[in-house]
Amino acid sequence: MTKEIKRNHLFNPKGDDDVEVRTIIKGATTGLFNLNATKYPWAKSLYQVMIGNFWVPEKISGLKDDARMFHTDLSEEEQKGYKGILSFLIFLDSIQTVNLPHFSDYITSPEVNLILSIQAYQEAIHSQSYATILESVVESKERDEIYYFWRTDSVLLERNKYIGQIYEDFINNPTDETFFRGIVANFLLESIYFYNGFAFFDTLVDRMKMLATGRMIAYIRRDELTHVTIFANIIREIKREFPEIYDEKMILEMMSVAVDQEIAWGKHILGNRIPGINSETTSDYTHWLANNRLAMLNIGPLYPDAVTNTYKHLDRLQDPNSDKGNFFETTVVNYTQSSSMNGSWDF
């Protein structure tokens, strides 16, 4: 698995875009986006969903109320968690915005490249969302401290270095192995690393705190679910088309590291004094989530005892029949522009 992987030509007159010979990677694409002939139906479906999910942070109201609540209603531990988790989320979306084009350069399916371009745009929107939250909620003198929290927090620095180094290794030495490791890292970033942070904000919302921030996070989470699905599908296609590159042992090893890091970070930044979240729930939720994500890759559970989601309030918040669910999710659901996409890419 050390074979060098070749970057796509910008324009290749000798290429062949025919669906019959198209592959997820290592194809001989012309460089043109022929979207009338597509091979991967999941990419077409995701395109519809991702375009329908269009939103901008400036449309979210209520952040002034969050600013007041941050100082009057949040405990010191909750304020620490709020700022520390935002710092990590800012890093994740920042690195994805810059990183995704490096991997797109090796994807030889125009329909998949298209949705990766949309993903990069959405990651940039998420970065702007965090900037909007910081500008509205915390004092100006604290913003740089939050952006660069990793400079003083060794746990966060190690997390950032781990994922960042995997991406750097691929950029500096693009081989089959570093590419696949990078694709798995993308999947883990989108499917594991965000979610204890999301759970923290959801827990605040369940207690009617920081509601505008919660709505913003709900939009971001909705986007991230499509990103998880993109990389799950890319991994499955690699397994089907290039079994010599696919490495399930690597996936399990990297998932184990991601889970351990996520649990350690959750315990470090949240501690045990925030109602609804403690060390035990953080571990149980992350183990359950890891099993759920592995199932997307048709891989059995890494943690057989983790069979239920310990955060029952997450289901309640997303239940349209719940009063809180109506408050928390209605804006998100109604914001979608998917109806405007009727007629695009007929199925």
> In this predicted model, what pLDDT tens digit does every residue of 276-285 receive, in sequence order?
898 899 999 9
pLDDT at residue 326, as a whole number = 38
pLDDT at residue 48, as a whole number = 94
Which DSSP symbol is given to 192?
I
- H helices of 105-242, where? 110-137, 140-147, 154-172, 176-188, 195-206, 211-241
Span between the terminal Cα atoms of the chain, in Å: 37
Pairwise CA distance, residues 303 & 34, whole Å: 43
Q: List Cα–Cα distances, 121 to 100, 125, 279, in angstroms.
A: 10, 6, 35
pLDDT at residue 313, as a whole number = 79
Which two three-digit tokens encode residue 123? 């990651």
From the candidates 130, 219, 311, 335, which is the catalytic residue? 130
Going 305 to 307 to 311 to 312, the CA torsion angle's sign is: negative
Phi and psi angles of residue 107, each rounded to the nearest 5 degrees, phi first: -85, 125
pTM: 0.91
Q: Which residues partner with 175 through β-bridges?
A: 4
Which two three-digit tokens encode residue 259? 């889970």
Which two three-digit tokens encode residue 132? 């909007």
Pairwise CA distance, residues 109 & 46, whole Å: 14
- Residue 121 bears catalytic tag: no
pLDDT at residue 318, as a whole number = 61
pLDDT at residue 341, as a whole number = 36
Q: Which residues partner with 265 through β-bridges?
A: none
Count of H helices and E strands in the chain? 13, 0
Amino acid at 332: V
Domains assigned to the chain: 45-246 (1.10.620.20)
Pairwise CA distance, residues 182 & 34, whole Å: 27
**Which residues of the chain, if any, have pLDDT below 70?**
1-2, 317-347
Pairwise CA distance, residues 4 & 37, whole Å: 29
Q: How many other CB atoms sit within 10 Å of the CB of residue 4?
A: 11
pLDDT tens digits along 178-190:
999 999 999 999 9
pLDDT at residue 179, as a whole number = 98
Q: Are 77 and 276 in contact (CB under 8 A)?
A: no
pLDDT at residue 2, as a whole number = 67
Exposure of 23 by Cβ count < 10 A (0-12 exposed, 13-18 middle, 19+ buried)?
middle
Which two three-digit tokens encode residue 217? 């996070």
Q: Are 287 and 311 in contact (CB under 8 A)?
A: no
Give me the residue label for tokens 């979608």. 336
> 112-144: buried (b, 16+ CB within 10 Å) or exposed (e) per residue?
bbbbbebbbebbebbbebbebbbebbbeeeebe
Pairwise CA distance, residues 96 & 265, whole Å: 20
